[in-house]
Structures are given as structure tokens and as C-alpha cells.
Structure 1
């Protein structure tokens, strides 16, 4: 479980193709992974990955082909910067919203607008990889983007927009995003459960949504 409060940025030190899978070695800021264990979960750009090896501040993760196809982890190269969050512990403050690290799809940046100290980023939400997340997204609802718990500030038929404050920009990679970059999207689990339940009940009653 994660809270969507990104704890910082880390650097991809090495990527190796292993069959259809990929091995990532990521270098974290000094000391932030103290007490970490093999088999523990870490969110990398919002993707829940398992620690398979570790040396000081370097952690290794093995990523399966399904995850590579669904997320931007498959695009990572040596030197890239990623958001990270350690798994939450019982009793930790949930400053964002509960997240699982299970990405539904990725979305592309279509516009970056700077207004004084804030930045507004728009993402296309067209169907990707046979996945359509649009029915789970609504104005002022929660969304997970590259592991950050954010509130949707505006939404259209095929796009959503978030507004970022300076502190979020400082802690995350969002200040480096440009048009065309792909970002991992995780929908709010409570929203998904509610929408799926309502749709199922309406279907049972013979009501078909447009």
C-alpha cells in the first residue's frame, strides 16, 4: 500500500533486458532506503515493484513484460529520473489517498502551462492498450499520476488536467515533463468500486449507459 505522497526522486543507474523482462538498478538519495529489505515493495513512478537485490543506496527490481507494456517503466533508460515512495507502514499518515501501485494505463502530456508559481498539466485520456479509464475520472476526484496523489482540477471528454504547487514540483519529476511524455495513471480504488457496482446494478435492471 502507498499513500501517493512522493518521497523524492531517484536515478536509473542501469537497465538490462532479461528475456522479455527488464532489470532496473536505481540509485536513491543517501540514507532514504535504510532498513529496506529484500522482497519489500517500492513505488517507482507509481508502479509497485519488488526489491530483488540491494547494495547501500542502490536497489534492483525485476519488471515483467506486462508491466513494461502497460507503464512508462518500459521506456526508462540509464540516467532517467523517477519518483519513488516506500511502502506505507501501519499507522503512517495518509496525506494523499490509498494507492496500490497497480497502474491501469499510461497517458500522454498534451499541454504544460505555467501560471505564476503553479503549473497546469493536461493529459490525453484516450483509450490505450485496450484500456479506457475515462469512466473512473471526474472533476475534483483523486487520480494517481507517476505515483503522486493528485486532484483533477479540470476534465474534458478526452483529457484531464492537474494543477501543481511549487512543493510538488520540487519533490517530483513533474517539473521536467514536456508534451508527448507518458505518465502512469492509477485510478482511485474507491471510485472504481463505486462505478463498477453501479454499472453492474444498472445492467441487471436492463439499463444501458451511453
Structure 2
């Protein structure tokens, strides 16, 4: 498990393609790898990877299988690329963000970047299947960082997150440009809630569901919005 609080930025020192996988050699910030062992888990841009070899005090190797390369942004990186990294949370660790599994659900697309004073706003596009789990004031993980959704538009398929200077300093988000892909992990309790409500509605409404959906559309609503969970307490 991870907390979604990025602990630093790692740089790709080497890439080696092997049958069925690609090996990444990463250089970490000083002190990040203290006590790191083979078999330990590290979140790399939100993807949980396992240490396969250690190189000195601040470098390690990770093997990434083809499925992960295809389903995440890891397959697009070259030597010199940079990852947000976080070590696995220890028992009793403070959860400064929200619990993450390191299993990416989908890649989103950075649609727009705005830079109001002392802020950095990213608008990210998602397929409709996944937007049903995204709510304003809810949590979402982007490239391994736990972020709060500022706004969400299901009709147009996007959500926005606002980043403070400290978040930009500790992550690679300042490097991202419109058109870049981003790894997205949906907040699990929200996903379970939405899917449970949808299943219950399907069971109870049956043939009436299309009529109810049409009625809600006339009023600019959807079943997802009617069944939305309450936002986290301030």
C-alpha cells in the first residue's frame, strides 16, 4: 500500500528489453533508498514495482512486464525520463493522502494547463467508463500522487486538480504538457460505492431504468450524479 504522498523524483539511468519485459534502472534522490531491499515495493508514477537488484545506496532495478508497459505510461519512457516515487507505507504510517494500491486503472490525457498565481491547474480527460467515479472534492491518484478533484464534468469527460508550489517541487507535474498521458488510479471506496448503487438500481428498476435515465437527462442529470457519494469532510 502507498499513501499517495510523493517522496521524490527518480531518473531512468538505463533500460534493458528482455523477453516479455523491460528492466528499468532508476537513480533515486539521496537517502530515498536507505534500507531498501530486493523484493520491496516502490510506486513509480503510480505503478507498484518490485525491486529486483540494488546498485549502491541510491539506485535499483525493476522489471516491468509487457502488460504493465501497455496499460500505463511506463512503456513510453526513455533513458533520462523521470518518475514520481514513493516507497511502500509501513504499518502505522500517517496517511497524508489516501490509500493507493499502485494498480493503475486507466491512462488519462492532460488537456489543459493553467497557471494562476501560486497555483498550477491541470485539466485531465478520462473515458466515460471511469468518469463515473470522479467527483468534485473526492480523491484521485495521478501518477502516484493523491490529489483532490476540484471540478469534474462528466458530459465532456474531464476533471481538474489544483497543485500548490510544494507539490510541483516534489513531483514531475511541472514537466507535463497538454497531450501527455497520465496514470490514473480511482479511489477504491468511491468505486465500490458507485458500482454497488448502480447494481442495486439495475436490480430494482429493471425495465424502468431507461425511462428514468431519459427523465434525468431532460433535467441535465444522470444516475451517477443522483447516486453520488458525499464528499469527504473538510
TM-score (norm 1): 0.94
Kindly report which structure 2 residues correspond to 1:55-204, keeping only aligned pairs within 5 A, or say none.
55-56=55-56, 57-126=58-127, 132-157=129-154, 158-204=157-203
Cα deviations across residues 25-52 of structure 1 (Å, max 9, x unaligned)?
Answer: 1010122111111111100001001111
Task: Find the residue that maps to 2:115 and give its secondary structure.
Answer: strand
Structure number with the higher strand fraction is: 1
Deviation >3 Å, runs of 4+? 206-210
Structure number with the higher helix fraction is: 2
- The separation in 2 between residues aligned to 1:177 and 1:48, in whole angstroms, is 21
Shift of 1:3: 0.4
Of 193-202 and 96-105, more deviation after overlay is shown by 193-202
Q: Which has the larger radius of gyration?
A: 2
Task: Find the residue that maps to 1:83 and give its secondary structure.
Answer: strand
Of 93-102 and 11-20, more deviation after overlay is shown by 11-20
- The separation in 2 between residues aligned to 1:138 and 1:31, in whole angstroms, is 37
Shift of 1:20: 3.1
User: Per chain length, whose mean CA-contact separation is higher, i.e. which structure has more relative contact order (CA < 8 Å, sep 6+)?
Assistant: 1
Shift of 1:204: 2.0
TM-score (norm 2): 0.85
RMSD, aligned CA: 1.2
